[in-house]
Structure 1
Amino acid sequence: MAVSVTKTRGNQKQRTRKDLLQAASRLMKQGHKPSLEEIAGEALVSRATAYRHFPSVDALLLEASLDVDTPDAGTLFSARGSDDPVARLLRVDAALNDMILANEAPLRMMLAHSLERVAKGEPEDEMPLRQNRRTPLIEAALAPARDRLKPASFDTLTQALALVIGTEAMIVCKDVLQLDKARARKVRRWAIRALVDAARRAGMDEADN
């Protein structure tokens, strides 16, 4: 029961955070910089709730701007193309990586702020959740293969892929491994293929048993 309640609260926080980001995007499209109060009102939440998710209006607007730049699954896979999950995942990786490199500084700032709050020991249930942009794209890429994987295997593959696609992967490749863009891209693509192959082999092993 406790796990279910915690998950429900987490989902609600994600929805509230998404509502705030979408509200900010709508208001920015009107041609002015909205206040936190205006954004909270547009999202139908209190000012205090907005502050629990974002430390300032600038932080909220920054992330809302990144949301606009994030590739959309419908756009990525709208044209008739390959149903091969690897090919689709490579498309997601390329699109997200382009967005990340174009917004590297603000993304690093967002990550630094998140780490700072952890370092300060703020209670986990009071910390704003980061917006999970990569998982919906990964799930959309894997959609044609979903029926060929058990639900648990699909979830594990999705979670494993989230480790090699996204901002943190860029930071590891660039800062830790000191790879150039071409080598980093090659390593990510290798990891994506390896993870999908591992999931496929696991599925075949289960079928044999």
Structure 2
Amino acid sequence: MQLFDEDNLSPVRRRTLERLTHAALKLYQENKFPSPEEITREAEYAKVTLRSYFSTHSEFVEYVVKRVIGAFEKPKMTADPEENIARLLSWGYGELFSHEALMRDAMRIAQHRWQTRQEEGSHEGESFLKKSNRREALAEALAPLESQLPPEKVQKLIMLMSVLYGTEALTVLKDTFGMEQEEIVELTTWGAKLMLHQALQEET
């Protein structure tokens, strides 16, 4: 669990947290999955420092992901859903590639949490995926369809397109098929447009 109230941190504690966060991001930019020891060493703090803020390393990673996602500035949406999806995928994959190691580490932790819950027979806890802004971003991009398609069909498009947009798709397309960023954007945009055209055609 998070062991602090971010709105009531002392200046010293806030500076320490910022240094830890920046140290982690620096190491992730070097394509590492940094350990707590590596992060505190990079930030020039004692090993126990991180534990005074978070009870587990995975919670610190989640905090860093939320900070990064919170700083994202999504492209402005238009009245054209096809243009919106193209903009969103181009921008989104740019951000994912910029923070690839961090996002892969978050996905790894989410999978480990799932395994732990299965072993314990527990279904409690929320995954990183549920806390991402993917669903909201796609809903905003497809909002112009609300006057053209029934709500349940718009929701189906959001769910299907979420498979094309995110760290999971990046991992499969890059690692399995050797695709680069521009190729992934082109392919996923093409796939999303196919879905969109099919949904609209079914209504005519």
Q: Normalising to structure 2: TM-score of the pair? A: 0.68
Cα distance in structure 1, aligned partners of 2:88 and 2:64: 22
Give the counterpart of 1:58 among 38, 41, 60: 60
In the TM superposition, what are the counterparts of 1:30-179 in structure 2 within 5 Å? 31-33=15-17, 56-72=58-74, 76-77=75-76, 82-120=78-116, 121-122=118-119, 123-130=121-128, 131-179=131-179
Q: Which runs of 5+ in 2 are unaligned?
A: 19-49
User: How much does 1:61 deviate?
Assistant: 2.7
**Per the alignment, do residues 26 and 164 of structure 1 end up closer, same or farther by CA in structure 2, a change over 3 Å counting?**
farther
Deviations 1:56-93 (A, max 9, x none): 55223322222223334xxx22xxx7411010111111
Deviations 1:119-173 (A, max 9, x none): 3424452233221311111111111121211011010011011010111111111
Cα distance in structure 1, aligned partners of 2:198 and 2:98: 32
What is the one-letter code of the residue matched to 1:94?
S
User: How much does 1:24 deviate?
Assistant: 5.0
Cα distance in structure 2, aligned partners of 1:182 and 1:85: 21
Cα distance in structure 1, aligned partners of 2:157 and 2:8: 34
**Per the alignment, do residues 28 and 58 of structure 1 end up closer, same or farther by CA in structure 2, a change over 3 Å counting?**
farther
User: How much does 1:107 deviate?
Assistant: 0.6
Cα distance in structure 1, aligned partners of 2:139 and 2:73: 14
Cα distance in structure 2, aligned partners of 1:28 and 1:61: 18
1:9 matched to which residue of 2?
A: none
Q: Secondary structure at the match of 1:97?
A: helix
Cα pair 1:85 1:145 within 8 Å, conserved: yes
Q: Normalising to structure 1: TM-score of the pair? A: 0.67
The share of aligned pairs that are identical, in percent, is 17
**Per the alignment, do residues 57 and 133 of structure 1 end up closer, same or farther by CA in structure 2, a change over 3 Å counting?**
same
**Per the alignment, do residues 169 and 60 of structure 1 end up closer, same or farther by CA in structure 2, a change over 3 Å counting?**
closer
CA RMSD of aligned residues (A): 3.1
Cα pair 1:24 1:61 within 8 Å, conserved: no
Cα pair 1:100 1:166 within 8 Å, conserved: yes
Cα distance in structure 1, aligned partners of 2:134 and 2:173: 18
Q: Secondary structure at the match of 2:142?
A: helix
Cα distance in structure 2, aligned partners of 1:33 and 1:99: 23
What is the one-letter code of the residue matched to 2:140?
A
Cα distance in structure 2, aligned partners of 1:37 and 1:187: 44
Cα distance in structure 2, aligned partners of 1:164 and 1:27: 39
Cα distance in structure 1, aligned partners of 2:133 and 2:93: 12
**Per the alignment, do residues 25 and 166 of structure 1 end up closer, same or farther by CA in structure 2, a change over 3 Å counting?**
farther
